[in-house]
Structures are given as structure tokens and as C-alpha cells.
Structure 1
Amino acid sequence: MTETKLAPTKANLMKAKAQLDLINEGYDILDKKRKALISQYNAKIDQRNELNDIVNSSIKDVKKAIKKASATIGEDKLKSIALSVPLDNSISLINRKFMQTKIYEISFEEKKLDLSYSLSLTNSLFDLALISLNELKSKVYKLAELDTTINNLDKEIKKTSKKVNSLEKVQIPNYNKTIKSISSQIEEKEREEFSKTKMIKDRKVDNK
């Protein structure tokens, strides 16, 4: 560890102590930020894991429903009808900040399905598959939102932890060592000055 080199003066001692106070204050702020980020990260992970299980289960149900619909109306007809279903253009991305970290929210209008196909071309199994798929959509959007936020929080946690570790392992010990060194040298000089002064006084007394 490299010690900060300062001349052993009282002015520099005060300067080093003031700098250490600022570093300690910065450390406390960053450490609180790191803990808040980790807490938010863990909360989002729990939400993501819970939702991920729901989505995986829903995907299996949707696949079964589509498979049944395909078996009854034919795969080619199913693909043709699927192309007629309008795209959802209501999706928008909103971002806000938490501890200087982007937290994304996916906004969209949850609409009831409008029939864009002829009922004579389909059956109830196709309708059920489409309804299941539409219900799954909002869950997938939320999952994407959580994954993006988790990724951003992870990056910010690593960046903040690096700064905290630098302060804790390098800068704070460095300044503590510098303050101790300057204090020791000042005390040594004061002892030397006291000894010299005492010697001079003693000589004066002896010469009387």
C-alpha cells in the first residue's frame, strides 16, 4: 500500500484528517447505496423467479392449445389466420432512476381481442389458444422488464462495490497510515524541541 507523502507539519496533519473525514463520508454514502441496490436487486430477482415459473407454465399451456387448434383446423390455415392478427403497437418503454440506475417499465394498453378473422375458418380451440396467448403477452413483457432492470442493477452494484472496496481497502488505510506517520513525526520533533529547551534551561541554571 502506497502511503500519501506529506511534510510532517500540523497544517498537513489537519489537511489529512479533513480529507479522511471526506473519504469516510463518501464511503458511508456509497456503502448505503450499495446495500440499497442489493436489496432492490434481490427483490427483483425474487419477482423474476416467481414470474418466470408462471410464464414457463403458461407457455406450456399455450403450446398445448395451439397444438390442439392446429390439429383441428390445419397448420397452413393456422399460419394464414395468425398473419391476419394485427401487431400490438401500443408498447412503449418508460425508464426512471433508482440510485442513479435505470429501472425500466414496459407500458402497453391491455386490450380485449378484436376478431380479425372469420369465425367460419376457426373453432373454439383456436379461440382458446389465442386468448391464452394474449394473456401470456403481459407476463412476458413484465419478465423482459425485470430482466433488463436486474441486469442494470447488477452492473451498478459491481461498479459501486469497486468504489467502496477502493475506499475501504486502499484510501482509508492509506490516510490513516499517513496521519499516524505525521503525528508520530510531529510528536518526535516536539520531544526533541522539549529536550533541547530543557537542556538550555539546565545549562543556564548551572552557569548561575
Structure 2
Amino acid sequence: TEQIKVDDSIKLTYRSVMGVEVPNIIYHQPDSVEVPYGLEGTSSRIDEAYIQFQKVKQITLILAEVDNSIYRLANAISKTQKRANALKNVVIPRYQSSIKEMTESLEEKEREEFSRMKVIKAQKEN
């Protein structure tokens, strides 16, 4: 069996964009193109096809990086949108309701205190 040469020209790292880990594909294109076949008995069209496939490989890597980055960012945006909706529709109204109850309670206590002071003042005057 023939062994297939390992392609180590591709490195995958991750970088953070607004707190989301997105892939960063680094492709080291070789300086010279080494064809994996003999030149004798082959057409120059095969050479051209091989070179074009190398370009397709590079473009596919870029596409994969962009596609995966968009997917991850869209997923993060979706999660953030759900949290924002939860704040808008659940948490904030709950706090507003609590604030309203506290305000009404304080106003009621203030009115009671005012009327109590009025009664005390009236008793002092008599």
C-alpha cells in the first residue's frame, strides 16, 4: 500500500470576536508546486487542473472559516437576543411592579404619618 502524504500546511487556531471564539485558519502555501505524479506521459491540462485544485483548496478554507464564524456569531446573537427579550418582557416588568408597590406603600405610610402628626398637633393645641 502506498502512504498518503500528510498535509501540514493548514493550521487551525481560534480568536475571540466580541467574546465569541471563531476559527482562524492559517494556510501556508508552498513556494513551489510539487506535482505528485510523473510529468512523462501527462498533459499540461493535468498540471493546470492540479494548480486550480490548489486554488480551490485555499478558497474552500476561507469559505469554511467565514461560514463557521458567521454560524457562531449568529448563534451568539440569538442567545443574546433571547436574554434581551427575557429582560424586556419578564425581569424589567417585575422590577417595575415591585417599585410601584414600594412607592405606593411609602406614600401610604407618609399619609398615615401626616394624619398622625395632625392629630398630635390638634391634641397639643387643646
TM-score scaled by length of structure 1:
0.55
- Where in structure 1 do 4 or more consecutive aligned residues deviate above 4 Å? 83-87
Given candidates 23, 34, 43, the residue that maps to 1:114 is 34
Are 2:121 and 1:197 equivalent residues in the alignment? Answer: no
The 5 Å alignment of 1:27-176 reads 86-111=5-30, 112-176=32-96
Q: CA offsets, 1:44-83, max 9 Å, x none?
A: xxxxxxxxxxxxxxxxxxxxxxxxxxxxxxxxxxxxxxx9
**8 A contact 1:85–1:117 mirrored in 2:** no
Q: CA offsets, 1:4-29, max 9 Å, x none?
A: xxxxxxxxxxxxxxxxxxxxxxxxxx
Q: Distance in 2 between matches of 1:165 and 1:145?
A: 30
Q: Give the secondary-structure state (helix, strand or coil) at the position aligned to 1:119.
A: coil
Between the two proteins, the alignment pairs up a number of residues equal to 124
**8 A contact 1:84–1:117 mirrored in 2:** no
Q: Distance in 2 between matches of 1:122 and 1:176?
A: 79
Unaligned runs of 5+ in 1: 1-82
Unaligned runs of 5+ in 2: none
The alignment's C-alpha RMSD in Å is: 2.0
TM-score scaled by length of structure 2:
0.87
Q: Which moved more, 1:87-96 or 1:125-134?
A: 87-96
Flag the structure with higher strand content: 2
Identity %: 38
